Amino acid sequence: MIIMLTSSYLTFQLNSTNFFIKSCNVIEILDKIIVSPTPSIISQCEGLCIFREQLIPIINFDKILFQTKTEPLDNQKKFSKVIIASFRDVIFGFKVDRISKLLENIPKFPISTDNLSFPNIQMGYIDSVINIQNKTIFSINFAKIFQCIFDFQ
């Protein structure tokens, strides 16, 4: 059974892996931002930045979504874009390698991610997996990520 999702979705790459999120969660896509590291903040947060006169956390999705690192993680990494997003009225940002495209009406297969295995991907933070034009694309589960980071219910 295939369910066609009627929302639009933004696809992007992180560590050469394709991900997608609902476009309604995206506020803006920026080329560059200044992130102020905060040593006492949680490890999954890269730091804080000012966005539209508001202080927001920059979440390190690279650290959360991948079990092992293939390249050093630092502020000089190849990140080219920052997605500013919102989830349950919390505004945050995360860096990505590149923005791929906006998709409409993507097929979502009702499969459980419990039985799936992809090298290096933390499947506990993945909502679903789709395959479009021979590309595997993972849907990020913001609720699980926020529950892990902020003890968010």
Domains of the chain, CATH where assigned: 3-150 (2.40.50.180)
Return phi, psi of residue 114, to 5°.
-60, -35
| Residue-level pLDDT at 110 | 45
Residue 75: pLDDT over 50: no
Which amino acid, 10? L
Retrieve residue 22's tokens. 């609902």
Task: Please give the average per-residue pLDDT across 37-46, as a whole number.
Answer: 78
Q: What is the largest CA-CA distance in the chain?
A: 48
CA distance 79 to 105: 28
The residues that bridge with 48 in the sheet, in sequence order, are 36, 57
pLDDT tens readout for residues 27-40: 999 988 888 888 76
For residues 127 and 141, the answer to whether their CB atoms sit within 8 Å is yes
